[in-house]
Protein backbone atom coordinates (compact mmCIF):
# COMPACT_ATOMS: atom_id res chain seq x y z
CA UNK A 1 0.00 0.00 0.00
CA UNK A 2 1.20 3.50 -0.82
CA UNK A 3 0.81 5.88 2.12
CA UNK A 4 0.17 9.61 2.09
CA UNK A 5 2.75 10.86 4.57
CA UNK A 6 3.13 14.33 6.04
CA UNK A 7 6.50 15.20 7.58
CA UNK A 8 6.77 18.31 9.78
CA UNK A 9 10.19 19.87 10.29
CA UNK A 10 11.12 18.47 6.88
CA UNK A 11 13.98 20.95 6.43
CA UNK A 12 15.71 19.76 9.63
CA UNK A 13 18.41 17.10 9.76
CA UNK A 14 16.06 14.29 10.83
CA UNK A 15 13.08 15.49 8.79
CA UNK A 16 15.21 15.55 5.64
CA UNK A 17 16.18 11.88 6.08
CA UNK A 18 12.64 10.83 7.04
CA UNK A 19 11.37 12.33 3.77
CA UNK A 20 14.08 10.44 1.85
CA UNK A 21 13.21 7.13 3.55
CA UNK A 22 9.54 7.32 2.57
CA UNK A 23 10.23 8.68 -0.93
CA UNK A 24 12.63 5.80 -1.61
CA UNK A 25 9.75 3.37 -1.02
CA UNK A 26 7.35 5.24 -3.32
CA UNK A 27 5.04 6.87 -0.76
CA UNK A 28 3.37 10.20 -1.43
CA UNK A 29 5.03 12.87 0.72
CA UNK A 30 3.98 16.31 1.87
CA UNK A 31 7.22 17.74 3.28
CA UNK A 32 6.42 20.72 5.53
CA UNK A 33 8.83 23.20 7.00
CA UNK A 34 7.85 26.50 8.60
CA UNK A 35 7.04 28.09 5.22
CA UNK A 36 4.52 25.37 4.29
CA UNK A 37 2.89 25.03 7.70
CA UNK A 38 3.29 26.94 10.95
CA UNK A 39 2.54 24.26 13.55
CA UNK A 40 1.65 26.95 16.11
CA UNK A 41 -1.27 28.06 13.91
CA UNK A 42 -4.07 25.63 14.72
CA UNK A 43 -6.33 26.65 11.86
CA UNK A 44 -3.54 26.27 9.32
CA UNK A 45 -2.64 22.80 10.66
CA UNK A 46 -6.28 21.69 10.61
CA UNK A 47 -6.88 22.91 7.07
CA UNK A 48 -3.68 21.55 5.52
CA UNK A 49 -4.04 18.13 7.17
CA UNK A 50 -7.74 17.96 6.22
CA UNK A 51 -6.83 18.77 2.60
CA UNK A 52 -3.94 16.28 2.31
CA UNK A 53 -5.70 13.51 4.29
CA UNK A 54 -2.46 11.79 5.38
CA UNK A 55 -2.43 8.18 6.55
CA UNK A 56 0.60 9.07 8.67
CA UNK A 57 2.19 12.21 10.14
CA UNK A 58 5.83 12.13 11.26
CA UNK A 59 6.18 15.11 13.58
CA UNK A 60 9.85 16.16 13.57
CA UNK A 61 9.29 19.92 13.99
CA UNK A 62 10.39 21.16 17.41
CA UNK A 63 12.00 23.97 19.34
CA UNK A 64 15.40 22.42 20.11
CA UNK A 65 17.51 25.39 21.31
CA UNK A 66 18.11 23.82 24.72
CA UNK A 67 19.88 26.78 26.37
CA UNK A 68 17.74 29.46 24.73
CA UNK A 69 14.63 27.70 26.03
CA UNK A 70 15.66 28.55 29.59
CA UNK A 71 15.09 32.26 28.85
CA UNK A 72 12.40 31.79 26.17
CA UNK A 73 10.07 29.39 27.94
CA UNK A 74 6.93 30.63 26.18
CA UNK A 75 8.30 29.93 22.69
CA UNK A 76 9.52 26.45 23.70
CA UNK A 77 6.03 25.56 24.99
CA UNK A 78 4.26 27.26 22.08
CA UNK A 79 6.14 25.06 19.61
CA UNK A 80 6.69 21.82 21.54
CA UNK A 81 3.39 21.71 23.45
CA UNK A 82 0.78 23.81 21.62
CA UNK A 83 2.25 23.01 18.19
CA UNK A 84 2.20 19.29 18.96
CA UNK A 85 -1.37 19.57 20.23
CA UNK A 86 -2.39 21.22 16.93
CA UNK A 87 -0.85 18.36 14.93
CA UNK A 88 -2.33 15.71 17.25
CA UNK A 89 -5.88 17.10 17.08
CA UNK A 90 -5.75 17.40 13.27
CA UNK A 91 -4.21 13.91 12.92
CA UNK A 92 -6.99 12.36 15.01
CA UNK A 93 -9.63 14.18 13.00
CA UNK A 94 -8.49 12.52 9.74
CA UNK A 95 -7.64 9.17 11.39
CA UNK A 96 -3.89 9.44 10.77
CA UNK A 97 -1.19 7.64 12.71
CA UNK A 98 1.17 10.06 14.47
CA UNK A 99 4.88 9.62 15.12
CA UNK A 100 6.20 12.15 17.67
CA UNK A 101 9.96 12.58 17.93
CA UNK A 102 10.98 13.11 21.56
CA UNK A 103 14.20 13.19 23.55
CA UNK A 104 16.36 11.72 26.31
CA UNK A 105 15.92 15.09 28.10
CA UNK A 106 12.58 13.86 29.51
CA UNK A 107 14.71 12.03 32.13
CA UNK A 108 16.75 13.70 34.87
CA UNK A 109 20.01 11.96 33.90
CA UNK A 110 20.78 10.94 37.47
CA UNK A 111 20.33 7.22 36.85
CA UNK A 112 23.04 4.58 36.63
CA UNK A 113 21.24 2.03 34.45
CA UNK A 114 19.74 2.60 31.00
CA UNK A 115 16.31 4.21 31.12
CA UNK A 116 13.44 2.03 29.91
CA UNK A 117 10.43 3.39 28.03
CA UNK A 118 8.06 3.39 31.00
CA UNK A 119 10.49 4.58 33.66
CA UNK A 120 9.44 7.69 35.56
CA UNK A 121 10.27 10.87 33.66
CA UNK A 122 11.70 13.90 35.46
CA UNK A 123 12.93 16.55 33.01
CA UNK A 124 15.26 19.19 34.45
CA UNK A 125 15.29 21.72 31.60
CA UNK A 126 12.56 23.82 29.98
CA UNK A 127 13.28 22.00 26.71
CA UNK A 128 12.83 18.58 28.34
CA UNK A 129 9.67 19.68 30.16
CA UNK A 130 8.11 21.11 26.99
CA UNK A 131 8.87 17.92 25.02
CA UNK A 132 7.32 15.80 27.78
CA UNK A 133 4.15 17.90 27.62
CA UNK A 134 4.15 17.18 23.87
CA UNK A 135 4.34 13.45 24.62
CA UNK A 136 1.40 13.65 27.00
CA UNK A 137 -0.72 15.60 24.54
CA UNK A 138 -0.05 13.00 21.84
CA UNK A 139 -1.03 10.20 24.23
CA UNK A 140 -4.22 11.90 25.38
CA UNK A 141 -5.42 13.29 22.03
CA UNK A 142 -4.52 10.50 19.60
CA UNK A 143 -5.66 6.92 19.22
CA UNK A 144 -2.76 5.62 17.12
CA UNK A 145 0.59 7.02 18.17
CA UNK A 146 4.29 6.25 18.36
CA UNK A 147 6.57 8.28 20.62
CA UNK A 148 10.21 7.91 19.57
CA UNK A 149 12.72 9.20 22.12
CA UNK A 150 16.21 9.67 20.76
CA UNK A 151 19.54 11.20 21.79
CA UNK A 152 22.74 12.85 20.54
CA UNK A 153 21.44 13.18 16.98
CA UNK A 154 23.74 13.84 14.01
CA UNK A 155 23.15 13.98 10.26
CA UNK A 156 24.59 15.76 7.24
CA UNK A 157 21.66 18.17 6.86
CA UNK A 158 22.06 20.13 10.08
CA UNK A 159 24.44 21.46 12.67
CA UNK A 160 25.43 18.94 15.35
CA UNK A 161 28.26 17.76 17.57
CA UNK A 162 30.03 15.79 14.82
CA UNK A 163 30.06 18.70 12.36
CA UNK A 164 31.28 21.06 15.11
CA UNK A 165 34.03 18.64 16.19
CA UNK A 166 35.28 18.14 12.62
CA UNK A 167 35.75 21.88 12.33
CA UNK A 168 37.39 22.38 15.74
CA UNK A 169 39.62 19.28 15.55
CA UNK A 170 41.09 20.60 12.32
CA UNK A 171 41.56 24.21 13.42
CA UNK A 172 42.62 24.10 17.06
CA UNK A 173 45.76 22.72 18.73
CA UNK A 174 43.84 21.67 21.85
CA UNK A 175 40.21 21.01 22.66
CA UNK A 176 38.45 20.36 25.97
CA UNK A 177 35.49 17.98 25.76
CA UNK A 178 33.15 16.89 28.55
CA UNK A 179 33.92 13.39 29.85
CA UNK A 180 31.28 13.02 32.59
CA UNK A 181 28.14 12.82 30.44
CA UNK A 182 27.25 9.42 28.99
CA UNK A 183 24.81 8.69 26.19
CA UNK A 184 24.29 7.07 22.81
CA UNK A 185 24.82 8.90 19.49
CA UNK A 186 22.13 8.57 16.81
CA UNK A 187 22.64 8.88 13.04
CA UNK A 188 19.60 10.44 11.35
CA UNK A 189 19.74 8.02 8.39
CA UNK A 190 19.41 5.04 10.75
CA UNK A 191 16.76 6.75 12.89
CA UNK A 192 14.71 7.69 9.81
CA UNK A 193 14.82 4.10 8.59
CA UNK A 194 13.60 2.80 11.93
CA UNK A 195 10.82 5.42 12.02
CA UNK A 196 9.82 4.24 8.53
CA UNK A 197 9.73 0.56 9.56
CA UNK A 198 7.91 1.23 12.83
CA UNK A 199 5.31 3.60 11.40
CA UNK A 200 4.00 1.02 8.93
CA UNK A 201 3.11 -1.33 11.82
CA UNK A 202 0.35 -1.26 14.43
CA UNK A 203 2.89 -1.59 17.24
CA UNK A 204 1.98 1.65 18.97
CA UNK A 205 3.70 2.96 22.09
CA UNK A 206 6.87 4.61 23.36
CA UNK A 207 10.23 3.62 21.86
CA UNK A 208 13.80 4.43 22.81
CA UNK A 209 15.87 4.66 19.65
CA UNK A 210 19.58 5.36 19.20
CA UNK A 211 22.55 3.63 17.66
CA UNK A 212 23.77 0.88 19.95
CA UNK A 213 26.61 1.39 22.41
CA UNK A 214 27.49 4.02 24.99
CA UNK A 215 30.15 6.74 25.13
CA UNK A 216 30.93 10.10 26.70
CA UNK A 217 31.16 13.26 24.60
CA UNK A 218 34.96 13.02 24.99
CA UNK A 219 35.00 9.44 23.68
CA UNK A 220 32.70 10.45 20.84
CA UNK A 221 35.08 13.29 19.93
CA UNK A 222 38.04 10.87 20.03
CA UNK A 223 36.28 8.56 17.58
CA UNK A 224 35.39 11.47 15.29
CA UNK A 225 39.06 12.52 15.18
CA UNK A 226 40.32 8.98 14.57
CA UNK A 227 37.84 8.25 11.77
CA UNK A 228 38.39 11.65 10.15
CA UNK A 229 42.16 11.01 10.05
CA UNK A 230 41.57 7.59 8.46
CA UNK A 231 39.43 9.28 5.85
CA UNK A 232 42.16 11.82 5.14
CA UNK A 233 40.22 14.90 6.27
CA UNK A 234 43.25 16.09 8.24
CA UNK A 235 46.54 14.59 9.40
CA UNK A 236 46.74 15.68 13.01
CA UNK A 237 43.56 16.46 14.96
CA UNK A 238 43.57 18.74 17.99
CA UNK A 239 44.78 17.26 21.27
CA UNK A 240 41.66 16.31 23.23
CA UNK A 241 41.55 17.08 26.95
CA UNK A 242 38.78 15.54 29.08
CA UNK A 243 36.94 17.98 31.35
CA UNK A 244 33.90 18.05 33.63
CA UNK A 245 30.45 19.53 33.03
CA UNK A 246 31.14 21.99 35.87
CA UNK A 247 34.03 23.45 33.86
CA UNK A 248 31.58 24.38 31.10
CA UNK A 249 28.48 25.77 32.83
CA UNK A 250 25.47 26.13 30.49
CA UNK A 251 22.07 27.76 31.12
CA UNK A 252 20.22 24.43 30.75
CA UNK A 253 21.23 21.39 32.84
CA UNK A 254 22.53 18.44 30.79
CA UNK A 255 21.71 14.86 31.80
CA UNK A 256 24.86 13.21 33.17
CA UNK A 257 23.55 9.78 32.18
CA UNK A 258 21.08 9.61 29.30
CA UNK A 259 21.57 6.05 28.07
CA UNK A 260 18.23 4.58 27.01
CA UNK A 261 17.43 0.87 27.06
CA UNK A 262 15.70 -0.19 23.83
CA UNK A 263 13.28 -2.55 25.54
CA UNK A 264 10.38 -1.79 23.18
CA UNK A 265 12.47 -2.43 20.07
CA UNK A 266 13.46 -5.86 21.42
CA UNK A 267 10.04 -6.89 22.69
CA UNK A 268 8.29 -5.81 19.47
CA UNK A 269 10.63 -7.81 17.25
CA UNK A 270 12.31 -4.83 15.60
CA UNK A 271 15.95 -4.81 14.60
CA UNK A 272 18.22 -2.70 16.84
CA UNK A 273 20.28 -0.05 15.07
CA UNK A 274 23.96 -0.66 14.34
CA UNK A 275 26.75 0.42 16.73
CA UNK A 276 27.28 4.18 16.87
CA UNK A 277 30.87 3.96 15.60
CA UNK A 278 29.74 2.20 12.42
CA UNK A 279 27.08 4.87 12.02
CA UNK A 280 29.72 7.59 12.46
CA UNK A 281 31.82 6.09 9.64
CA UNK A 282 28.72 5.97 7.40
CA UNK A 283 28.00 9.61 8.25
CA UNK A 284 31.56 10.69 7.36
CA UNK A 285 31.27 8.84 4.05
CA UNK A 286 27.93 10.54 3.34
CA UNK A 287 29.44 13.91 4.26
CA UNK A 288 32.36 13.34 1.86
CA UNK A 289 29.95 12.65 -0.98
CA UNK A 290 27.91 15.75 -0.12
CA UNK A 291 31.05 17.90 0.00
CA UNK A 292 32.32 16.37 -3.23
CA UNK A 293 35.50 14.95 -1.68
Question: pLDDT digit of tens for each residue in the chain (293 aa)?
Answer: 899 999 999 999 999 999 999 999 999 999 999 999 999 999 999 999 999 999 999 999 999 999 999 999 999 999 999 999 999 999 999 999 999 999 999 999 999 999 999 999 999 999 999 999 999 999 999 999 999 999 999 999 999 999 999 999 999 999 999 999 999 999 999 999 999 999 999 999 999 999 999 999 999 999 999 999 999 998 889 999 999 999 988 999 999 999 999 999 999 999 999 999 999 999 999 999 988 75
**Which residue in 190, 203, 13 sits closest to 99, CA to CA?**
203
What pLDDT, on the 0 to 100 scale, is given for residue 107?
Answer: 97
- Provide the pLDDT for residue 293: 59
Which CATH class for the 4-160+184-213+258-274 domain? alpha beta
- DSSP states of the chain: -PPEEEEETTTSHHHHHHHHHHHHTT-EEEEE-TTT--TT-HHHHHHHHHHH--SEEEE------HHHHTT-HHHHHIIIIIIHHHHHHHHHHHT-EEEEEEEGGGS-S--SSPBPTTSPP---SHHHHHHHHHHHHHHHH-SSEEEEEE-SEE-TTS--HHHHHHHHHHH-SEEEEE-S-EE--EEHHHHHHHHHHHHTSS--EEEE---BS-EEHHHHHHHHHHHHHHTTS-SSPPEEEEE-GGGS--SSPPPSB--B--HHHHHTTPPPPPBHHHHHHHHHHHHHHHHT-
DSSP per residue, 244-264: -GGGS--SSPPPSB--B--HH
Q: How far apart are CA 198 and CA 97, in angstroms?
A: 11
Pairing of strands 97-103, 56-59: parallel
pLDDT score, position 292: 75
C-alpha 40/C-alpha 62 separation (Å) is 11
- Active-site residue identified among 127, 187, 218, 257: 127
User: Is 127 annotated as catalytic?
Assistant: yes
Q: What is the pTM of this model?
A: 0.97
Q: What is the pLDDT of residue 172?
A: 94
The pLDDT value recorded for residue 148 is: 98
**pLDDT value for 243:** 95
Going from N- to C-terminal start, the domains of the chain cover 4-160+184-213+258-274
Amino acid sequence: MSYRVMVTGAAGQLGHDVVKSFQAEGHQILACDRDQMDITDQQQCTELIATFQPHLIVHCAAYTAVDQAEVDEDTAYTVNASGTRNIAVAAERVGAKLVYISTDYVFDGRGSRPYQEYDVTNPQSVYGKSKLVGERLVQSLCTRWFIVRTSWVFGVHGSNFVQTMLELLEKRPQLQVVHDQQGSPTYTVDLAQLVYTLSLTEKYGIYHVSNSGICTWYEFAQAIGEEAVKQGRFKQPAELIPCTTDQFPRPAPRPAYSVMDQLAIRTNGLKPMRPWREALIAFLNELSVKQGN
